[in-house]
A and B are shown apart, each in its own frame.
Chain A
Amino acid sequence: MIGKDSKTLLDVQGLRATVNGIEILKGMDLTIKSGEVHAIMGPNGSGKSTFAKVLAGHPAYVVTGGSVQFEGKDLFVLAPEARARAGLFLGFQYPIEIPGVANAQFLRLAYNTVQTQHGKDELDPLEFDDFVREKMKLLEMNPDFLDRSVNEGFSGGEKKRNEILQMALLEPRVAILDETDSGLDIDALRIVAGGVNQLANKDNAVVLVTHYQRLLNYIEPDYVHVMDAGRIIKTGPKALALELESRGYDWVSAEARAGAGAAA
């Protein structure tokens, strides 16, 4: 929801980044305010996940230009863990499997780290168990997933639910959900979307990276951005997603090229 007295949470200006010496992000601009839901769409390989990982601080990506302010402060001076503790959350497109680390242990460590950051008490394993089970109910997740290794052998949809569970525990300021809808069945999509809606409020913001406007029926975006070749080339209201669904991306790219030509 676009609010009157909302604050700018994330301000991305002219962001450029490379991986293995190849420039992937070529001048990203994006401003996100509290209470807003943004959707980022765009063809495969346009740089959506790269953008998300650059924000989260993945070491493989090198920022070569531009700036990102997170709640008014330079994001890039923070280590990845400090970004997470400050309230930036990335729901991974491909969540990592960690054999041997029990999901419950991982979730508790993450939760406690963020609690400590906020000057609150840590939960011991028993207290945490009660707490996390409540959160899992919200996502209709089987508690058996607590005892298994982090994401190991989880189905695609189960991994995505586990990502949202982490979001529910960490209560981030800005959550970037990279294709959280991919791989979810119809019921799971509704449940996960319901979870995200419950977590969204006037003080935080959600960025949904998605290929399908179906998700946007459940989580209503305030803005839909189209990314192509490392930049946002068009921004519109929710209706833009419907238009993209029926017409594809070519016309947006053509429009962008024409616009660039006219400006030149």
Chain B
Amino acid sequence: MFFYSFNTHTKLPVYKCTDKTYAPNMKNDVLEDNDVIQDYSYLIDEIANNQNKQAFIKLFKHFAPRIKTFIKKTGLSLNEAEDLAQETMITVWNKAKLFKKDKSAASTWIFAIARNKRIDHLRKQKHPIPHTEDLLNESDLNINNHDLIIEKEQMFTYIKSEISKLPLEQAIVLKKSFFEGMSHIQISKDLSIPLGTVKSRIRLALTSIRKKMKGLH
């Protein structure tokens, strides 16, 4: 069962990802500049279906500064950070049709594009990404159907709040991995802690987040 109730101060109605009808006045609401939680998936759909530049501007305002800060944090220059943030957002526009809101939240999708842009920028060859078609071909298709019904945007908001509650020592390891480009071996050297400790912190953090994700259905 899905117990998490969506934040009540959102302007948007809660809907299932399979529901294609939206409140008629939603477009104005969602494109208005305000601080309420946005349904970013809806904005990506607007780009995919209607080439909606207003929707793009909304996404840009939220994501571009964060992507730039992220790239800067990883040690690249201000110019590189600016360029990669812009490139990421242009990719969001170009690939909007490939976004699957039943698979991930908009934030997860967009930040993954940003991460891959950073990795590709540092390397000669592109970062390999699992081709999910393989999984569909090979798996017994026993994927829990509830997975597809859960609203991924709500899941993201919930998981984000849970991640902020992780023990500091676990959060530090995750941040070093994502923001400082350190492998678990480098983290162990950087923090002068045994490799086994780094591994168990990673395992504890990911297991508890994964449990939370599973607990939603």
- Bound pair: A and B? no
B-side residues, CB < 8 A to A, are none
A-side residues, CB < 8 A to B, are none
